[in-house]
Amino acid sequence: MEASAADIRTTPPSAAPGRHPQRWLILGVICLAQLTVLLDNTVLSVAIPSLTTELHASTADVQWMINAYSLVQSGLLLTAGNAADRYGRKKMLITGLALFGVGSLAAGLAQSSGQLIAARAGMGVGGALLITTTLAVIVQIFDDQERIKAIALWSTVNSLGFAAGPVLGGAVLDHFWWGAIFLINIPVVVLGLVAVVVLVPESRSRQGDRPDLLGALLSVIGMTAVVYAIISGPDHGWTSAQVLLPAAVGVLVLGAFVAWESHIPYPMLDMHFFRDQRFVGAVAGAVLVAFGMTGSLFLLTQHLQFVLGYGPLDAGLRTAPLAVTVVALNLTGLGPWLAGKMGTPVTIAVGMSLVAAGLAAIAVLGAGGYHGMLVGLVVMGAGVALSMPVMANAIMSAIPPEKAGVGAGVNGTLAEFGNGLGVAVLGAVLNSRFAALVPAAVGASSLPAALAAVEPGPGGEAERAGISDAFARGLETSQLVGAAAVLAGGLLAALLLRRAERVERQGVSRTSEA
């Protein structure tokens, strides 16, 4: 192992990563670490009733228990990736696992809402380090031929974590108290730490770069403020001071971050990356596929519960076919094989067209019941399986290997931004359409509020049916908007990537002629 670590550590920055002899075993280890992070994005949702009762948590407390994790994680992704490149990806992977384990222990033993919120924030720090270093390590130990397949398996874990979180949480809560949903992370973290120490080689960028402390500070403040504004929008209202002020601060600080990074010799994020059309195309696609996937699932769970009458756990189980489709296509290797046959631009265009078609099918066919939604979920899952690994690979391929951690940070930040934006924008479309269809006398702050406002009497049932129908029509409109955005983004990403490939081929041709 030491020889391998030294080889990678002394590799010049321009050298391409190669195949590590134990790369597939290492991939299994880092996917296990990644899974614990992803499970904690969703597992807490099923414990909300228990937390409300046993910790006497208010609605605001519960929101912060959920948001503290994602807010800290998304704000630190770029900084975490830069730290991994500079100080060693193996070191940061070990640090991330340790912080995540300590945070999980503190969360499981918390005696108050404040303690649990603080523990979740600590877990978010560990999660940011894990998300960036796992993808960066993949870039280092796999060559160009195998990298898409490895990233496909890595992204499969994302879908598996999304689907398994509520199910695992529900199963644990059936037999244990709420703290057990955090303590089950501990054995996985211990196993991961041992495996990382033994198997994963160290790799880092050249030592000449100076720490970009101001860039890190601006990145954390800007991203945290923007993500906080997106998270707060549905609760406080998009025109409220609680949303507009952090949004304005975030935009201004991120503008200062861009200006600072453009004028220093050793930037945390090189702004020249954005001149690469491959990078810009993959960035656009990554944001929009996260936008459509997360936004549509946010709407779908409401449809399953409010319109079709399923409970939270049943609704979660009925979204699982999307994740199962992604897992099946990537584990069988069909997704990476098709990508190799069709090329990156065509694969992204086809994949995101399938995501858009799945969204449209959910919107149109879902009105008739769950079977129509099932078709849309499977089609959407096929599109995600095709497009997401290829886009992640395009982002990482456009960035020098010695900056793999920063590339992973960019990829993770875009996913977080797209997730929040999807919920915010499609939720706003739903609310505005619902408000337009419901009589003003009833009020339409939410479906439960509108139904509760109906006066009892002979005409009450008909009015409630009309309100439910208005909500279903609002869902249909917002999902069609999401489908259109994803389709446009996919075609734009494919166009930019095709153009970048053409320019690259022309450059190679001129060089060979010279």
For residue 389, give the nearest of 343, 348, 328, 341 by alpha carbon: 348
**Spatial contact of 283 and 407, defined as CB atoms under 8 Å apart:** no
**CA 175/CA 171 separation, integer angstroms:** 7
Query: Which pLDDT score, from 0 to 100, does residue 271 have?
Result: 80
**CA 4/CA 12 separation, integer angstroms:** 15
Is 254 exposed, middle or buried, given 0-12, 13-18 or 19+ CB atoms closer than 10 A? middle
**Spatial contact of 385 and 339, defined as CB atoms under 8 Å apart:** no
How would you label 66-98 residue by residue, b for 16+ Cβ within 10 Å and e otherwise? Answer: bbbbbbbbbbbbbbbbbbbbbbbbbbbbbbbbe
Task: Tally Cβ neighbours within 10 Å of residue 234.
Answer: 16
Instruction: Tell me the CA end-to-end span of the chain in Å, nearest whole number.
Output: 43
Residue with tokens 């790799």: 203
**CA 303/CA 374 separation, integer angstroms:** 13
User: Which of left, alpha, beta for 164 (phi over 0: left; psi -120 to 50: alpha)?
Assistant: alpha
Task: Tally Cβ neighbours within 10 Å of residue 207.
Answer: 8
Residue with tokens 């960036």: 132
Structure tokens that stand for 347 in this block: 């694969």
Q: What is the per-residue DSSP string for 98-142?
A: HHHHHHHHHHHT--SHHHHHHHHHHHHHHHHHHHHHHHHHHHHHS
Q: Which residues contact 148 (CB under 8 A, 6 or more apart)?
A: 336, 339, 340, 389, 390, 393
Q: Which residues contact 139 (CB under 8 A, 6 or more apart)?
A: 17, 147, 396, 401, 404, 407, 408
Query: Which pLDDT score, from 0 to 100, does residue 3 have?
Result: 39
Structure tokens that stand for 5 in this block: 């670590």
Listed in sequence order, the DSSP H helices in 142-203 are 144-173, 180-183, 185-199
Structure tokens that stand for 30 in this block: 């880092």
Q: At 506, which amino acid appears?
A: Q
Query: Which pLDDT score, from 0 to 100, does residue 19 have?
Result: 67
> For residue 398, how many C-alpha atoms fall within 13 Å in the half-sphere facing its CB?
30
Query: Which pLDDT score, from 0 to 100, does residue 95 have?
Result: 92
How would you label 485-497 residue by residue, b for 16+ Cβ within 10 Å and e otherwise? Answer: bbbebbbbbbbbb
**CA 81/CA 215 separation, integer angstroms:** 13
Is 453 exposed, middle or buried, given 0-12, 13-18 or 19+ CB atoms closer than 10 A? middle
Residue with tokens 């756990």: 313
Query: Which pLDDT score, from 0 to 100, does residue 354 have?
Result: 92
Q: What is the pLDDT along the chain (514 residues), one digit of tens a residue?
A: 333 333 333 333 334 455 677 788 888 887 887 777 777 766 666 666 677 777 777 666 776 777 788 778 877 888 888 888 888 888 888 999 999 999 989 988 888 888 888 998 899 889 888 888 888 888 778 877 777 788 888 877 776 766 666 667 767 777 777 788 888 888 888 888 888 888 877 877 765 556 777 888 888 888 888 878 877 776 677 778 888 898 899 899 989 988 888 888 777 777 877 777 777 777 777 787 777 777 777 777 777 777 777 776 677 678 778 878 888 887 777 777 777 788 888 888 898 899 899 988 888 887 777 887 888 889 988 888 888 788 777 777 777 777 777 777 877 777 777 777 777 778 778 877 877 777 654 555 566 666 666 666 666 677 777 777 788 888 888 888 888 888 888 888 888 888 877 776 766 566 655 5
For residue 209, give the nearest of 398, 406, 396 by alpha carbon: 406
Query: Which pLDDT score, from 0 to 100, does residue 352 have?
Result: 87
**CA 378/CA 324 separation, integer angstroms:** 8
Query: Which pLDDT score, from 0 to 100, does residue 8 have?
Result: 37
Global confidence as pTM: 0.73
**CA 256/CA 341 separation, integer angstroms:** 43
Rounded-to-10 torsion of CA 336, 155, 429, 352? -10
Q: What is the per-residue DSSP string for 415-443?
A: HHHHHHHHHHHHHHHHHHHHHHHS-TTT-
**Spatial contact of 153 and 23, defined as CB atoms under 8 Å apart:** no
**CA 41/CA 165 separation, integer angstroms:** 8
